[in-house]
Amino acid sequence: MATLCLFSIPKPMNGDAERLQHNAFESWRRLGDTLQVILLGDDPGVAGAAAHYGFDHLPRLVTNSQGTPLVSDALTRVRQHSNADWLLYTNADILFDTSLSTAVAALRRSTGNRFLGIGQRLESDLTVDLRGWSDAEMNAWMAAQRRAGQWASVVCKDFFLFPRHLYQTIPDFAVGRGNWDNWMVYQAHRWGMPVIDLTAHLTAVHQPHGHNHSGGRRLAYVAGAEARENQRLARGRHLLVGSHASHYLDAEGHLKPMGWRWLPRAAKDTPRFIELLRSLIQSPTAS
Protein backbone atom coordinates (compact mmCIF):
# COMPACT_ATOMS: atom_id res chain seq x y z
CA MET A 1 0.00 0.00 0.00
CA ALA A 2 1.27 3.45 -0.89
CA THR A 3 2.27 5.69 2.00
CA LEU A 4 1.52 8.86 0.06
CA CYS A 5 -1.11 9.64 -2.56
CA LEU A 6 -0.27 12.56 -4.85
CA PHE A 7 -3.28 13.91 -6.72
CA SER A 8 -3.78 16.67 -9.23
CA ILE A 9 -6.39 18.15 -11.58
CA PRO A 10 -4.59 18.80 -14.88
CA LYS A 11 -5.51 21.31 -17.55
CA PRO A 12 -6.36 20.08 -21.07
CA MET A 13 -3.34 18.38 -22.61
CA ASN A 14 -2.66 20.71 -25.51
CA GLY A 15 -0.09 23.36 -26.43
CA ASP A 16 2.46 24.31 -23.79
CA ALA A 17 0.24 22.85 -21.07
CA GLU A 18 0.73 19.38 -22.55
CA ARG A 19 4.53 19.66 -22.48
CA LEU A 20 4.87 21.10 -18.99
CA GLN A 21 2.35 18.71 -17.46
CA HIS A 22 4.07 15.73 -19.09
CA ASN A 23 7.33 17.02 -17.60
CA ALA A 24 5.74 17.06 -14.15
CA PHE A 25 4.19 13.61 -14.62
CA GLU A 26 7.56 12.25 -15.71
CA SER A 27 9.15 13.52 -12.50
CA TRP A 28 6.37 11.94 -10.40
CA ARG A 29 6.70 8.61 -12.21
CA ARG A 30 10.33 8.36 -11.14
CA LEU A 31 9.54 8.58 -7.41
CA GLY A 32 8.85 4.88 -7.00
CA ASP A 33 6.09 2.48 -6.03
CA THR A 34 5.50 3.93 -2.56
CA LEU A 35 3.83 6.92 -4.27
CA GLN A 36 0.32 6.57 -5.68
CA VAL A 37 -0.60 9.19 -8.28
CA ILE A 38 -4.18 10.08 -9.19
CA LEU A 39 -5.13 12.43 -12.05
CA LEU A 40 -8.66 13.77 -11.89
CA GLY A 41 -11.03 15.25 -14.44
CA ASP A 42 -12.30 14.87 -17.99
CA ASP A 43 -10.25 17.47 -19.82
CA PRO A 44 -8.79 16.26 -23.13
CA GLY A 45 -5.76 14.02 -22.77
CA VAL A 46 -5.92 13.50 -19.00
CA ALA A 47 -7.13 9.90 -19.10
CA GLY A 48 -4.54 9.05 -21.75
CA ALA A 49 -1.74 10.61 -19.74
CA ALA A 50 -2.76 8.65 -16.65
CA ALA A 51 -2.73 5.41 -18.64
CA HIS A 52 0.65 6.24 -20.18
CA TYR A 53 2.36 6.78 -16.83
CA GLY A 54 0.56 4.06 -14.93
CA PHE A 55 -1.35 6.56 -12.78
CA ASP A 56 -4.93 6.20 -11.62
CA HIS A 57 -7.61 8.33 -13.27
CA LEU A 58 -10.85 9.57 -11.73
CA PRO A 59 -13.28 11.18 -14.21
CA ARG A 60 -16.51 13.12 -13.80
CA LEU A 61 -15.52 15.65 -11.16
CA VAL A 62 -18.22 17.97 -9.88
CA THR A 63 -17.76 21.48 -11.32
CA ASN A 64 -19.12 24.95 -10.67
CA SER A 65 -21.42 26.79 -13.09
CA GLN A 66 -18.40 27.84 -15.16
CA GLY A 67 -17.15 24.29 -15.55
CA THR A 68 -14.22 24.57 -13.13
CA PRO A 69 -13.64 21.47 -10.95
CA LEU A 70 -14.28 21.74 -7.22
CA VAL A 71 -11.48 20.93 -4.77
CA SER A 72 -14.02 19.50 -2.31
CA ASP A 73 -15.18 16.82 -4.74
CA ALA A 74 -11.60 15.98 -5.71
CA LEU A 75 -10.72 15.35 -2.06
CA THR A 76 -13.80 13.19 -1.54
CA ARG A 77 -13.06 11.12 -4.63
CA VAL A 78 -9.40 10.64 -3.70
CA ARG A 79 -10.27 9.41 -0.20
CA GLN A 80 -12.75 6.95 -1.66
CA HIS A 81 -10.16 5.62 -4.11
CA SER A 82 -6.94 5.62 -2.07
CA ASN A 83 -5.98 4.02 1.23
CA ALA A 84 -2.76 6.05 1.56
CA ASP A 85 -2.04 7.52 4.99
CA TRP A 86 -1.12 10.94 3.66
CA LEU A 87 -2.41 13.03 0.76
CA LEU A 88 -0.52 15.55 -1.38
CA TYR A 89 -2.46 17.92 -3.59
CA THR A 90 -0.24 19.58 -6.17
CA ASN A 91 -0.72 21.69 -9.25
CA ALA A 92 0.00 19.69 -12.38
CA ASP A 93 3.00 21.76 -13.49
CA ILE A 94 5.20 21.11 -10.42
CA LEU A 95 8.23 18.84 -10.66
CA PHE A 96 9.39 16.92 -7.60
CA ASP A 97 12.51 14.86 -6.98
CA THR A 98 13.38 12.26 -4.35
CA SER A 99 13.46 14.97 -1.67
CA LEU A 100 9.68 14.47 -1.56
CA SER A 101 10.22 10.90 -0.38
CA THR A 102 12.82 11.88 2.20
CA ALA A 103 10.61 14.73 3.47
CA VAL A 104 7.73 12.30 3.97
CA ALA A 105 10.01 9.84 5.78
CA ALA A 106 11.32 12.60 8.05
CA LEU A 107 7.84 13.86 8.87
CA ARG A 108 6.64 10.36 9.68
CA ARG A 109 9.40 10.15 12.30
CA SER A 110 8.84 13.57 13.83
CA THR A 111 5.17 14.56 13.59
CA GLY A 112 1.92 13.38 14.96
CA ASN A 113 -1.07 12.88 12.73
CA ARG A 114 -2.14 16.51 12.57
CA PHE A 115 -0.15 18.88 10.37
CA LEU A 116 -0.16 20.73 7.06
CA GLY A 117 2.98 20.84 4.92
CA ILE A 118 3.56 23.68 2.45
CA GLY A 119 6.60 25.17 0.75
CA GLN A 120 8.02 27.65 -1.71
CA ARG A 121 8.45 26.74 -5.34
CA LEU A 122 11.42 27.41 -7.59
CA GLU A 123 10.72 29.17 -10.89
CA SER A 124 12.44 27.31 -13.72
CA ASP A 125 13.65 28.27 -17.16
CA LEU A 126 12.64 24.88 -18.56
CA THR A 127 11.23 25.16 -22.08
CA VAL A 128 11.94 21.64 -23.35
CA ASP A 129 10.28 18.25 -23.13
CA LEU A 130 12.26 16.14 -20.66
CA ARG A 131 10.54 12.81 -21.26
CA GLY A 132 13.68 11.50 -22.94
CA TRP A 133 16.00 12.51 -20.11
CA SER A 134 17.80 9.91 -18.05
CA ASP A 135 17.46 9.80 -14.28
CA ALA A 136 20.93 11.30 -14.01
CA GLU A 137 20.02 14.21 -16.29
CA MET A 138 16.79 14.85 -14.41
CA ASN A 139 18.52 14.74 -11.02
CA ALA A 140 21.31 17.06 -12.21
CA TRP A 141 18.82 19.59 -13.55
CA MET A 142 16.75 19.56 -10.35
CA ALA A 143 19.90 19.99 -8.27
CA ALA A 144 20.94 22.95 -10.44
CA GLN A 145 17.56 24.57 -9.88
CA ARG A 146 18.02 24.11 -6.15
CA ARG A 147 21.43 25.80 -6.25
CA ALA A 148 20.70 28.70 -8.55
CA GLY A 149 16.96 28.88 -9.24
CA GLN A 150 14.68 31.81 -8.50
CA TRP A 151 12.34 31.43 -5.52
CA ALA A 152 8.72 32.46 -5.88
CA SER A 153 7.03 34.48 -3.14
CA VAL A 154 5.88 32.58 -0.05
CA VAL A 155 2.30 33.59 -0.89
CA CYS A 156 2.42 31.28 -3.95
CA LYS A 157 1.33 27.86 -2.72
CA ASP A 158 1.29 24.99 -5.20
CA PHE A 159 1.05 21.94 -2.97
CA PHE A 160 -0.42 20.79 0.35
CA LEU A 161 0.64 17.70 2.30
CA PHE A 162 -1.57 16.41 5.11
CA PRO A 163 -2.87 13.21 6.79
CA ARG A 164 -5.93 11.78 5.07
CA HIS A 165 -8.28 12.32 8.02
CA LEU A 166 -7.87 16.12 7.86
CA TYR A 167 -9.88 18.50 5.65
CA GLN A 168 -12.78 16.05 5.52
CA THR A 169 -15.15 18.92 4.77
CA ILE A 170 -14.07 22.01 2.90
CA PRO A 171 -16.00 24.69 1.01
CA ASP A 172 -16.71 24.19 -2.69
CA PHE A 173 -13.65 26.06 -3.89
CA ALA A 174 -12.89 26.33 -7.61
CA VAL A 175 -9.47 24.85 -8.31
CA GLY A 176 -6.87 27.10 -9.92
CA ARG A 177 -8.50 30.28 -8.66
CA GLY A 178 -7.46 32.58 -5.85
CA ASN A 179 -8.04 32.39 -2.09
CA TRP A 180 -8.63 28.68 -1.46
CA ASP A 181 -4.92 28.05 -0.93
CA ASN A 182 -4.71 30.70 1.80
CA TRP A 183 -7.77 29.16 3.46
CA MET A 184 -5.99 25.80 3.76
CA VAL A 185 -3.23 27.37 5.86
CA TYR A 186 -5.59 29.67 7.76
CA GLN A 187 -7.75 26.69 8.72
CA ALA A 188 -4.74 24.70 9.94
CA HIS A 189 -3.84 27.59 12.26
CA ARG A 190 -7.43 27.76 13.48
CA TRP A 191 -7.29 24.07 14.35
CA GLY A 192 -4.12 24.72 16.32
CA MET A 193 -2.02 22.24 14.36
CA PRO A 194 1.50 22.75 12.99
CA VAL A 195 1.93 24.34 9.57
CA ILE A 196 5.30 23.05 8.38
CA ASP A 197 7.43 24.86 5.81
CA LEU A 198 9.20 22.17 3.75
CA THR A 199 11.24 24.57 1.60
CA ALA A 200 14.64 23.88 3.18
CA HIS A 201 14.27 20.16 2.46
CA LEU A 202 11.90 19.72 -0.47
CA THR A 203 12.63 20.78 -4.06
CA ALA A 204 9.50 21.75 -5.99
CA VAL A 205 10.05 23.33 -9.41
CA HIS A 206 7.41 25.34 -11.24
CA GLN A 207 7.49 25.72 -15.01
CA PRO A 208 6.61 29.05 -16.68
CA HIS A 209 3.20 29.28 -18.36
CA GLY A 210 0.45 31.69 -19.27
CA HIS A 211 -3.03 32.03 -17.80
CA ASN A 212 -5.15 32.32 -20.93
CA HIS A 213 -7.27 29.39 -19.73
CA SER A 214 -8.56 31.54 -16.88
CA GLY A 215 -8.55 34.98 -18.50
CA GLY A 216 -5.23 36.11 -17.02
CA ARG A 217 -3.67 36.08 -13.56
CA ARG A 218 -5.67 39.02 -12.26
CA LEU A 219 -9.01 37.39 -13.06
CA ALA A 220 -7.89 33.97 -11.84
CA TYR A 221 -6.54 35.10 -8.50
CA VAL A 222 -8.17 38.43 -7.61
CA ALA A 223 -10.82 40.05 -9.76
CA GLY A 224 -12.69 37.23 -11.48
CA ALA A 225 -16.05 35.88 -10.37
CA GLU A 226 -14.56 32.53 -9.33
CA ALA A 227 -11.79 34.15 -7.30
CA ARG A 228 -14.34 36.35 -5.57
CA GLU A 229 -16.58 33.35 -4.87
CA ASN A 230 -13.61 31.50 -3.38
CA GLN A 231 -12.96 34.56 -1.22
CA ARG A 232 -16.59 34.54 -0.06
CA LEU A 233 -16.45 30.84 0.78
CA ALA A 234 -13.17 31.34 2.64
CA ARG A 235 -14.58 34.35 4.50
CA GLY A 236 -11.66 36.52 3.47
CA ARG A 237 -8.37 36.45 1.62
CA HIS A 238 -6.28 35.44 4.66
CA LEU A 239 -3.20 36.52 2.72
CA LEU A 240 -0.79 36.96 5.64
CA VAL A 241 -1.84 34.20 8.03
CA GLY A 242 -2.44 32.01 4.99
CA SER A 243 1.26 32.16 4.09
CA HIS A 244 2.80 31.73 7.55
CA ALA A 245 4.29 28.47 8.87
CA SER A 246 4.72 27.66 12.55
CA HIS A 247 7.48 25.06 11.97
CA TYR A 248 9.97 24.09 9.31
CA LEU A 249 11.76 20.95 8.16
CA ASP A 250 15.48 21.62 7.80
CA ALA A 251 17.78 20.20 5.12
CA GLU A 252 18.72 17.25 7.33
CA GLY A 253 15.09 16.35 7.99
CA HIS A 254 14.75 17.76 11.50
CA LEU A 255 11.48 19.44 12.48
CA LYS A 256 12.00 22.78 14.24
CA PRO A 257 9.81 25.70 15.38
CA MET A 258 9.88 28.67 13.02
CA GLY A 259 10.39 31.15 15.86
CA TRP A 260 12.12 34.39 14.90
CA ARG A 261 13.20 33.00 11.51
CA TRP A 262 10.09 34.42 9.90
CA LEU A 263 11.62 37.91 10.14
CA PRO A 264 14.56 37.48 7.73
CA ARG A 265 12.37 35.29 5.58
CA ALA A 266 9.76 38.05 5.32
CA ALA A 267 12.48 40.58 4.48
CA LYS A 268 13.82 38.38 1.69
CA ASP A 269 10.34 37.79 0.36
CA THR A 270 9.32 41.46 0.13
CA PRO A 271 10.81 42.06 -3.37
CA ARG A 272 9.22 38.83 -4.63
CA PHE A 273 5.84 39.83 -3.20
CA ILE A 274 6.06 43.29 -4.78
CA GLU A 275 6.89 41.74 -8.13
CA LEU A 276 3.92 39.38 -7.77
CA LEU A 277 1.60 42.31 -7.06
CA ARG A 278 3.00 44.15 -10.08
CA SER A 279 2.32 41.15 -12.31
CA LEU A 280 -1.25 40.93 -11.04
CA ILE A 281 -1.88 44.64 -11.63
CA GLN A 282 -0.40 44.48 -15.13
CA SER A 283 -2.21 41.26 -16.06
CA PRO A 284 -5.09 41.73 -18.49
CA THR A 285 -8.57 41.24 -17.09
CA ALA A 286 -9.65 39.21 -20.09
CA SER A 287 -7.95 36.87 -22.50
Which of 17-26, 41-50, 107-116, 276-285 is predicted with the least confidence, judged by mean pLDDT?
A: 276-285
Cβ–Cβ < 8 Å for 203, 256: no
- The pLDDT value recorded for residue 286 is 39
Q: Which positions ≥6 away from 83 have C-beta within 8 Å?
A: 1, 2
Residue 67's nearest CA partner among 213, 179, 211 is 213
| CA–CA dist 209, 149 (Å, integer) | 17
| CA–CA dist 121, 143 (Å, integer) | 14
C-alpha distances in Å from residue 168, one per residue of 66, 77, 79, 172, 229: 24, 11, 9, 12, 21
Residue 184's nearest CA partner among 162, 201, 199 is 162
- The pLDDT value recorded for residue 284 is 56
- The pLDDT value recorded for residue 211 is 53
Cβ–Cβ < 8 Å for 189, 118: no
Residue 245's nearest CA partner among 231, 217, 265 is 265
Residue 95 phi, psi (nearest 5): -95, 135
Residue 91 phi, psi (nearest 5): -65, 155
CATH for the stretch 4-282:
3.90.550
- The pLDDT value recorded for residue 26 is 96
Residue 206's nearest CA partner among 90, 131, 95 is 95
Q: pLDDT tens across 164-214, in order?
A: 999 999 999 999 999 999 999 999 999 999 999 999 999 999 987 655 555
pLDDT band at 285 (very low <50, low <70, confident <90, very high): very low
pLDDT band at 217 (very low <50, low <70, confident <90, very high): confident
Mean of pLDDT over the chain? 91
Q: pLDDT tens across 104-158, in order?
A: 999 999 988 999 999 999 999 788 898 889 999 999 999 999 998 899 999 999 9
- The pLDDT value recorded for residue 268 is 77
**pLDDT of 250 higher than 70:** yes
Packing angle of the helix pair 46-53, 15-29 (nearest 10 deg): 30
**In this structure, what is the dihedral angle of CA atoms 281, 284, 285, 287, given to the nearest 10 degrees?**
-160
C-alpha distances in Å from residue 2, one per residue of 37, 130, 157, 241: 10, 26, 24, 32
pTM tops 0.75, yes or no:
yes
